[in-house]
Structure 1
Amino acid sequence: MGIKVEGKVYGDIERKKALEGLRIIDLSQVYAGPYASKLLADMGAEVIRVESAVRSGRGGQKPQSGAVYPDGEPGERPYNRSAYYNELNRNKLAISLDLSKDQGREVFKRLVKVSDVVIENFSPRVMENFGLDYPTLRQIKPEIIVVSISAYGQTGPYRDYVSFGRGIEAMVGLSQITGYDDSQPLGPGIAYADAAAGLHAAFAVLVALRHRRRTGKGQHIDLSLRESLTPLLGEHVLDYSMNKRAPERRGNRDSSTIFQGCYRCRGNDAWITIAIYSDEERESLRNAIGNPTGRDEDLDNVIENWTLSHEPDEAMRILQKAGVRAGAVLGAEDLTSDPHLKERGFFEIVTHPEAGTHPYP
């Protein structure tokens, strides 16, 4: 059988996904762990979610506060219609177990015996309390790979502290450097720490699988949200260690650029970002907006006077043609209809029996 791509068959080899034949038991909740297992499921792994019989991550019969449902309607089974849950848990199977009961733990151990990886993101004491920590699981299957995602790691004085991504973004200093110089610290628009930890966890699983293939040994991966995010602020940490200079909140400015800002455009809540990294780019910007000679201290006003007469996409095309780094500020409604993403086939159109048909990133 050949490879079938968009209705066409190529060659005589059946194409398989990279992780086909791999089984992952996913105990994780909320964002970081489910995001990691989603990526692995996308690569072909069989992911079995083990959800609490007492407190399910998808919610119960009543609609969850703040959850997004198709057409705003939770329906009779809101736990199957949540946009958040369906996006993070696509391509997965699920089973409901009560791990506080002997029977639930026995079923879980039977699953571990026929699986390759376990992912969990409880606080460290939880798996120990269940009697399902890594030393126990290793006795069941010596080559098992266990990924434990937690806020601060399995050891240290903060070991049992709990947090979501928002708290971690504050604890690594990301919130401290986000905002304007005269404003309070701000968090990013998404749970950035969870996304970073999820990516790290998926990569760690791939490395552990390679290690097991070479040595036959499993391992316990201790992954901290805080330690996953901190390296992304490396320049600020090094600046302080070298120069005792703490970073400042700069709003839309960036210390690595000559000039950077976000400017209003024509239309309701319409914006564009512009970044200049060299004198040549600055001259290209001035020429593009019809201001070849002028003072840099007036450049903000000159740019916005020009952008206000253009819609974001139009301004971006003009500036990009001139060699200026510019990008329209888009919302979700713009992304789902973006012609570039459509041409590249970025969104997958998925039909869910209860949530309906929608584009998934």
Structure 2
Amino acid sequence: MANYPLEAYRVVDFSWVWAGPLLGMILADMGAEVIKVETNKRLDSARLTPGRSTVGPETDFVFHSMNRNKLGITVDMSHPRGAEVIKELIKISDIAVENFSPKGLKNLNLDYAVLSEVNPRLIMISLPAAGQYGSLSDIVTYAPSLGALCGYSSLIGYPGERVLGEQTPYLDINSAIHGAFAVMAALYYRERIGKGQYIDMAQIEVGASTIGEAFMEYFMNGRVMGTAGNRNRAMAPNNNYPCKGEDKWVSIAVKTDDEWRGLCDAIGNPPWTGEERFSDRANRMSNQDELDKLVSAWTIELNYYEAMDILQKAGVAAAPCLDLTERFSDPHFESRETHFQVEHPATGVDIIAGIPFKLSETPCEVRRPAPMLGEHNEYVLGKLLGKSKDEIAQLIEEKVIY
């Protein structure tokens, strides 16, 4: 029988879209029984991402990739009887996850102040954009606006050029990881003290925590960091360099003089490597434009795996810049099951990300695909909450379970 790290815990996952669901998935991957609460009145937008809305809410790969290992129920929490069902579930659960605005659950009379009366041992985490209090607490945001607000989007762009900002849900992913860590800490506290607690985790503060270097630059040196592209103020060369083939690149990073000498040996020590302008890190940093051109002249003659192999043998950090398709076929990623196939009743087969943490004594696995809408209503309402078939049928008829 499998032994999972968190198999003794139950989680009620109210969240939607990305940050909250990903946090819930981390807990589910570790073995917790995570019950995702949804409603047909307002579907999780991750079920209807652009290009998928005409296919139906059961087939969206974004939803499937962030909700594996979870059970799913449909409850209209705005219905008084729906709120009571939620409270019954909270009473027998350990953790609750939500990422609505501060008004969301409070308007339904299901915020922590209420739920902790139902279950004093409850650990609840909220992941609002800007926190539960403060002048921006009710701000409406998406991932790019969060990055803009906390400051890190201002660092994204080519050196000295206009800000491009982020194009990925970077903050959602970071918030999920930070949130999982906070939940673990709260669980540890509860095991020692016996009390639950509330975790208010503003996503913009998570974002700010990832750009400590920029804050230090301002407070210590009075300078505002701007766009730098792939460059690093402690490394040169440090960039992505073109290789053979259309839009193929290799990432190269050199920090120490030993690494520099390794790169020079690897590329055959052409005359320019001995020039004064590249003699030490300070000189290389001052001549990065020319250095990038010269390194590119070498990499363009090789495919990206060849460049990586040559440089890695010389002790130089180098790796191919792989697109999604190339990652799926890379032998290393295949051996590690970085991505793998899982059967789903609506799509047949999904390709999803693997579990990145591989515990030696309590290994985790994908036990089930993302839930269909209301797939586990009968189990949760009947087995966990002890309701009869007639009671469940009545709740369905009244659209409490909907």
Q: Would you call these one fold, judging by a TM-score over 0.5?
A: yes
- Does 165-174 or 211-220 show the bigger shift? 165-174
Counterpart in the other structure of 1:8: none
- Unaligned ranges ≥5, structure 2: 279-286, 354-402
Give 1:105's aligned residue.
83
| Counterpart among 113, 126, 140 of residue 148 in structure 1 | 126
**AA paired with 1:25?**
V
SS in 1 for 2:184: helix
2:182 corresponds to 1:190: no
Cα distance in 2 for residues equivalent to 1:95 and 1:315: 51
Match of 2:310?
318
Residue number in structure 1 paired with 2:282: none
**Contact 2:16 2:44 (C-alpha < 8 Å) held by counterparts:** yes
Please tell me whether the aligned partners of residues 113 and 141 of structure 1 are also in contact (alpha carbons under 8 angstroms). Answer: yes
2:5 matched to which residue of 1? 18
Which portions of structure 1, spanning 4 or more consecutive aligned residues, are displaced by more than 3 angstroms? Answer: 295-298
Contact conserved, 1:271 with 1:328, CA < 8 A, in 2?
yes
Listed as ranges, the gaps of 5+ residues in structure 1 are 1-13
Cα distance change of structure 1 residues 311 and 229 upon mapping to structure 2, 3 Å threshold: same
Q: Does 1:288 align with 2:260?
A: no
CA distance in 1, matches of 2:349, 2:312: 35
Name the SS of the counterpart of 2:64 in structure 1: helix
Could you say which residue in structure 1 is the equivalent of 2:43?
56
Moved more, 117-126 or 160-169: 160-169
Distance in 1 of aligned mates of 2:159 and 2:295: 22
Bigger RCO of structures 1 and 2 (CA < 8 A, at least 6 apart): 2
Between 287-296 and 300-309, report the one with greater CA deviation.
287-296
Seq. identity, %: 38
Whole-Å separation in 1 of the counterparts to 2:159 and 2:108: 47
Partner residue in 1 for 2:219: 241
- Distance in 1, matches of 2:2 and 2:194, equals 27
Q: How does 1:209-224 map to 2 (within 5 A)?
A: 209-224=187-202
CA distance in 2, matches of 1:319, 1:46: 46
**TM superposition shift of 1:144:** 0.8
Range moving further from structure 2, 20-29 or 279-288 = 279-288
Kindly tell me: are residues 127 and 120 of structure 1, through their superposed partners in 2, closer, same or farther at Cα, counting changes over 3 Å? same
Aligned-partner residue type, residue 261 of structure 2: E
RMSD: 1.7
Mark the CA change 1:192 to 1:19 in structure 2 (over 3 Å): closer, same or farther: same
Counterpart in 1 of 2:334? 342
* Contact 2:254-2:260 at 8 Å conserved across structures: yes
1:134 is aligned to 112
C-alpha change, 1:234 and 1:182, in structure 2 (3 Å) is closer
> 1:284-307: per-residue Cα shift (whole Å, max 9, x none)?
212222244314443222211111
Check conservation: 2:21, 2:66, Cα contact below 8 A.
yes
* Cα separation, 1, equivalents of 2:291 and 2:178: 41
Cα distance per residue 1:249-290 (max 9 Å; x no partner): 111211121321211110011011111101222222122222
**Secondary structure of the corresponding residue to residue 80 of structure 1:** coil
Within the alignment, does 1:167 sit opposite 2:142 as a pair? Answer: no
Q: Distance in 2 between matches of 1:157 and 1:277?
A: 43
User: Is 2:73 aligned against 1:95?
Assistant: yes
Alignment-mate amino acid for residue 42 of structure 1: D
Q: CA deviation at 1:227?
A: 0.9
When normalised by structure 1's length, the TM-score is 0.90
Q: Which has the higher strand share?
A: 1
Corresponding position: 1:46 with 2:39: no
Which whole-Å deviations, capped at 9, do the CAs of 1:332-357 have from their partners, x for residues lacking one? Answer: 00111111112223334311122222
* Corresponding residue to 1:123 among 84, 93, 101: 101
Q: 1:228 Cα deviation (Å)?
A: 1.1
136-145 or 290-299: bigger deviation: 290-299
* TM-score, normalised via structure 2 length: 0.81
Among candidates 256, 269, 277, match of residue 278 of structure 1: 256
Secondary structure, counterpart of 1:360 in structure 2: strand
Match for 1:137: what amino acid?
Answer: L
* Per-residue CA distance 1:47-81 (angstroms, 9 max, x = gap): 11111331111578xxx351459xxx82xxx2111
1:36 aligns with 2:14: no
For residues 135 and 262 of structure 2, the distance between their equivalents in structure 1, rounded to whole angstroms, comes to 54
| Distance of aligned partners of 1:106 and 1:67 in 2 relative to their CA distance in 1, 3 Å threshold | farther
Q: Kindly indicate whether residue 301 of structure 2 is the aligned counterpart of residue 309 of structure 1.
A: yes
